[in-house]
Amino acid sequence: MLEFEPYFGAKAAGEQGLDSFAGRLLDWRPVLDGIRMTKKLKNETALLNEALRRVMEDAARRGIVEFEATDSRNLKIEYAYRLLVHDKKIAPLPPNQREIPKMKHRLAMWVTHELPDDHELLR
């Protein structure tokens, strides 16, 4: 069943000092059976690959980790997510939502902000 729940974000301009429910309510986000729906990216798999490549190269350059051929993809995804959270480049997921599919989406979203506007993966 599709429902909508309130989304609380930063106060809009001109709402200084207004701490009421109505002052912080910015929009309503769709919820399907209790799970907030996220926007599916067009090239999410390719964006995830690019994010992993960037994070792994950065980690190897910094001497933080060495990956082996036997390391699973999910292990690399979780490591990349945790490293970006540690570096404060992305916001952490709530503890009850730390799942590989959500980490993949968060990494893909991160790399969209790191790529130049005219990059082929953003078209």
**Is 122 within 8 Å of 112 (Cβ atoms)?**
yes
Residue ranges of alpha helices (H) inside 4-95 are 21-24, 44-62, 73-86
Identify whether the C-beta of residue 30 lies closer than 8 Å to the C-beta of residue 53: no
- The domain that holds 92 is classified in CATH as 1.20.120.1930
Q: In total, how many domains does the chain have?
A: 2
Query: What is the C-alpha to C-alpha distance for residues 101 and 99, in angstroms, rounded to an integer?
Result: 6
Are 87 and 112 part of one and the same domain? yes
Which pLDDT value is given to residue 38?
63
pTM score, whole prediction: 0.69
Please check the confidence at residue 110 and state whether its pLDDT lies above 60.
yes
Range of the domain at 24: 2-36
Mean pLDDT value across residues 91-106: 95
Burial class of residue 103 in the structure, from the number of CB atoms within 10 Å of its CB (0-12 exposed, 13-18 middle, 19+ buried): buried
pLDDT class of 71 with cuts at 50, 70, 90: very high
Same domain, 51 and 108: yes
Looking at the fold, whether 58 and 95 belong to one and the same domain comes out as yes
Q: Is the pLDDT of residue 68 over 80?
A: yes
Shared domain check, 49 and 21: no
